[in-house]
């Protein structure tokens, strides 16, 4: 399983191959010419996934901006609150029908 991260995310050599980050400026020129096209494709995919995740988290923060209290320490109660918040946010997106992620990725992903 891989994790997509920002290129500034610190990682050790033990995490090589587990954390995927976009290419930094100048990295593409260091790659063999025969591999550049594939590297650019992977870079674009990582950027798209990260961008969609950031938009999704941004929409959650906007909807629940008034919830400034910390989450409870109890793991079950915290999990239930987070689950309910995300269910309500997903319901809102489905009923309103406005989603920056859906608008951007229509045609490139299958949306239920």
The Cα-based distances of 88 to 60, 71, 93 in angstroms read 10, 17, 9
List the one residue out of 22, 19, 15 whose CA is nearest residue 45: 22
Number of domains composing the chain: 1
Q: Where in the sequence is the domain holding 65, given as residue range(s)?
A: 3-105
User: Could you tell me if residue 31 is inside a domain?
Assistant: yes
Please report the pLDDT score of residue 77 as a whole number: 94
Would you say 38 and 28 are in contact if contact means Cβ atoms under 8 Å apart? Answer: no
What's the distance, Cα to Cα, between the start and end of the chain in Å?
Answer: 24
Question: Could you tell me what percent of the chain has a pLDDT over 70?
Answer: 78
- pLDDT tens sequence across 7-49: 676 667 777 777 777 777 887 888 888 888 888 888 888 888 8
Kind plus residue range of the DSSP H or E element containing 20: strand 19-20
Please report the pLDDT score of residue 111 as a whole number: 45
């Amino acid at each position: 399983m891989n994790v997509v991260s920002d290129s500034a995310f610190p990682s050790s050599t033990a995490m090589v191959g587990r954390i995927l980050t976009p290419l930094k400026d100048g990295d593409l020129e260091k790659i063999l010419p025969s591999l550049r096209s594939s590297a650019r494709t992977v870079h674009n995919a990582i950027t798209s996934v990260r961008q969609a995740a950031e938009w999704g988290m941004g929409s959650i923060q906007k909807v629940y901006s008034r919830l400034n209290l910390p989450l409870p320490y109890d793991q079950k109660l915290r999990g239930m609150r987070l689950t309910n918040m995300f269910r309500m946010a997903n319901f809102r997106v489905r009923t309103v029908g406005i989603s920056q992620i859906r608008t951007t990725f229509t045609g490139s992903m299958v949306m239920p």
